């Protein structure tokens, strides 16, 4: 038995790596990962698999620990180069044996048990920490998070800097960071589990696993774009499902009232996405082919409002067209005009317009006519949307120095703040049942109040329409501009469609 153990250990070392990979890759469905196996001389072999029906990864593993100068655990991995963002919802199964059993993300230089590495980990007793070994065979170091009991674990790399973002689902991230940790350009990246007890197998389950490749440093906004994942979010559970991905920039999905179709824009065109067939088709918008992500369906779903750039008229112009397609009708005479809302009775459109170098919210008859200015604050007002009963318009405004959600009467009277928190909040969307408010939140350390750029750390947050209570985080996303600019609630108010981004969309497989 001793000889067999040494042989297994040798085949997990760097010297036998070429022989190990084909064997490991023959395991059951591994989803986005390339291989899996035990690291170190474990007594009880572990396992790893992916369930495409539940879209979950399950790992079992034993091992004394991931600590000191060597490790014993089970690892599910893929090889990656460059920068990345690793995200999952992780949970240990059952009461367990040792309070320091652990699950999380790991990045390693090699599969050798003494390898340099870093991991973002949740322990059985709730301890959440960033653990790392700077060089091969060195003692492991640890930075403990102020948060305990995290079930959202994110680990990202930018150069030699590693950032752990952890949260209890529904709450914002708590962040820790390690700089100057050179693990090499090509590394092993993956999920892991360790039992902290040689004689025990523990089990962990990982949901909503995402690996994103972020924007490169010299990316030029609106010239260079990352790929896109079209996702659906269950607002009760927070579960996410990728239904389509593309190397192109897809933006701002709308959901039709019959629940059968999503509409989004890409490269100036409008697309319909058949949810049953899982396929997109170009929507005919005639000569209007410079459409941006400010488009909206009428409440009955029969008409589509567009915003499309026309340089000769000053920028984006508002149009309307039947949802089935056709030649659009021009509504606003000049730009910039960015459409965001349609009144429940279909008689009025509301848009963000720049007139005299000041962006404010305007209304205009849906058939065309004189514009009416609804806001006049000396700051950006944007993203207006009617409530389903037509009694209020919700919008976002930077009038207090930070971007927050506001509401007002349809004539622009009685403006009042709805949020006043620690983030820049944009694009309020009211659920069809009129009970909930969904919006996107940018980090203040990443963006200015009047900007909503591509490719940032953002949250989708939800609040009762009354504004009472603290907003709940429903999704932790790498995205921003184009993620949820338009109303994207499902007609039953149970789900939301949105866009996340990655330079390599193949890392986020379509869930089936």
Asked if residue 273 lies in contact with residue 254, where contact means CB atoms within 8 angstroms, the answer is no
Q: Classify residue 410 as exposed, middle or buried by CB count within 10 Å of its CB (0-12, 13-18, 19+).
A: middle
**Residue among 311, 315, 247, 308 nearest 283 (CA):** 308
Q: Which CATH number does the domain 227-507 belong to among 2.120.10.30, 3.90.1310.10, 2.60.120.700, 3.40.50.300?
A: 2.120.10.30
171: closest CA among 433, 421, 366? Answer: 421
Domain ranges in the chain are: 2-212, 227-507
Q: What is the per-residue pLDDT for 295?
A: 98
Residue 17 has pLDDT above 80, yes or no: no
pLDDT in tens, 37-95: 999 999 999 999 999 999 999 999 999 999 999 999 999 999 999 999 999 999 999 99
Q: Which residues pair with 342 in a beta bridge?
A: 349
- HSE of 182, CA atoms in CB hemisphere, 13 A: 0
Contact (CB, 8 A) for 92 and 191 = no
Q: What is the pTM of this model?
A: 0.93
Can you say whether the dihedral through the CA atoms of 482, 484, 489, 490 is positive or negative? positive
DSSP per position, 351-370: EEEEETTEEEEEEEETT---
The three-state DSSP-derived secondary structure of 105-164 is EEEECCCCCCCCEEEEEEECCCEEEEEEECCCCCCCEEEEEEEECCCEEEEEEECCEEEE
> What is the C-alpha to C-alpha distance for residues 361 and 363, in angstroms, rounded to an integer?
7
pLDDT digits (tens, 9 = 90+) for 309-342: 999 999 999 999 999 999 999 999 999 999 999 9
User: In sequence order, which residues have a C-beta less than 8 Å from that of residue 343 and are 6 or more positions away?
Assistant: 349, 350, 366, 386, 390, 410
pLDDT attached to residue 8:
34
Work out the angle between the directed axes of helices 17-25 and 2-11 (0-180°, nearest 10).
90
Q: Which residues on adjacent β-strands are paired with residue 80? A: 187
pLDDT higher than threshold 90 for residue 511: no
Q: Choose the CATH number for 2-212 among 2.90.10.10, 2.60.120.200, 3.40.50.740, 3.40.50.920.
A: 2.60.120.200
Q: In what order do the strands lie in the sheet with 56-61?
A: 47-51, 56-61, 202-212, 84-92, 152-158, 161-167, 174-178
Give the DSSP H/E element, type plus range, for residue 4: helix 2-11
The predicted pLDDT at position 83 comes to 98
SS3 category, 24? helix
pLDDT digits (tens, 9 = 90+) for 117-150: 999 999 999 999 999 999 999 999 999 999 999 9
Alpha-carbon gap, residue 488 to 429, rounded angstroms: 8
């Amino acid at each position: 038995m001793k000889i067999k153990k040494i042989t297994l250990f040798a085949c997990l070392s760097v010297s036998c790596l070429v022989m190990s990979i084909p064997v490991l890759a023959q395991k059951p469905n591994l989803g986005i990962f390339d291989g899996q196996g035990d690291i170190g001389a474990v007594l009880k072999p572990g396992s790893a698999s992916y369930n495409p029906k539940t879209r979950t990864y399950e790992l079992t593993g034993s091992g004394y620990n991931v600590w000191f100068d060597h490790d014993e655990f089970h690892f599910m991995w893929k090889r990656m180069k460059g920068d990345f963002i690793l995200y999952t919802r992780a949970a240990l199964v059952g009461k367990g044996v040792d309070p320091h059993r652990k699950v999380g993300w790991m990045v390693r230089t090699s599969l050798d048990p003494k390898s340099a590495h870093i991991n973002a980990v949740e322990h059985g007793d709730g301890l959440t920490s960033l653990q790392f070994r700077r060089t091969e065979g060195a003692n492991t170091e640890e930075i403990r998070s102020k948060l305990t009991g995290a079930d959202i674990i994110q680990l990202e790399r930018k150069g030699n800097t590693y950032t752990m973002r952890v949260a209890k689902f529904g709450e914002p991230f708590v962040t820790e960071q390690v700089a100057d940790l050179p693990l090499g350009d090509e590394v092993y990246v993956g999920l892991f589990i360790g039992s902290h007890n040689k004689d025990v197998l523990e089990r962990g389950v990982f949901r909503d696993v995402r690996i994103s490749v972020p924007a490169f440093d010299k990316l030029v906004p609106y010239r260079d774009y990352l790929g896109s994942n079209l996702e659906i979010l269950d607002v009760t559970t927070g579960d996410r499902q990728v239904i389509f991905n593309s190397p192109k920039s897809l933006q701002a999905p709308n959901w039709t009232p019959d629940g059968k179709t999503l509409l989004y824009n890409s490269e100036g065109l409008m697309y319909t996405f058949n949810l049953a067939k899982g396929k997109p088709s170009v929507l005919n918008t005639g000569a209007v082919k410079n459409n941006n992500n400010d488009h909206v369906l009428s409440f009955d779903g029969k008409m589509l409002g567009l915003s499309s750039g026309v340089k000769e008229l000053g920028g984006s112009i508002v149009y309307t067209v039947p949802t089935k397609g056709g030649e659009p009708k021009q509504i606003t005479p000049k730009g910039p005009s960015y459409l965001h809302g349609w009144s429940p009775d279909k008689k009025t459109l509301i848009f963000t317009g720049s007139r005299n170098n000041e962006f404010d919210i305007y209304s205009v008859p849906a058939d065309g006519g004189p514009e009416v200015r609804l806001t006049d604050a000396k700051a950006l007002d944007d993203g207006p949307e009617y409530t389903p009963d037509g009694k209020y318009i919700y919008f976002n405004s930077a009038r207090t120095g930070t971007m927050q959600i506001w509401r007002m009467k349809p004539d622009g009277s009685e403006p009042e703040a709805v949020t006043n928190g620690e983030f820049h909040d944009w694009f309020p969307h009211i659920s069809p049942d009129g009970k909930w408010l969904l919006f996107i939140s940018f980090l203040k350390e990443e963006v200015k109040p009047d900007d909503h750029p591509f490719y940032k750390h953002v949250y989708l947050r939800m609040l009762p329409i009354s504004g009472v209570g603290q907003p709940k985080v429903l999704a932790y996303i790498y995205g921003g501009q184009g993620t949820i600019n338009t109303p994207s609630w499902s007609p039953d108010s149970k789900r939301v469609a949105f866009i996340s981004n990655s330079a390599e969309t193949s890392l986020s497989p379509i869930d089936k």
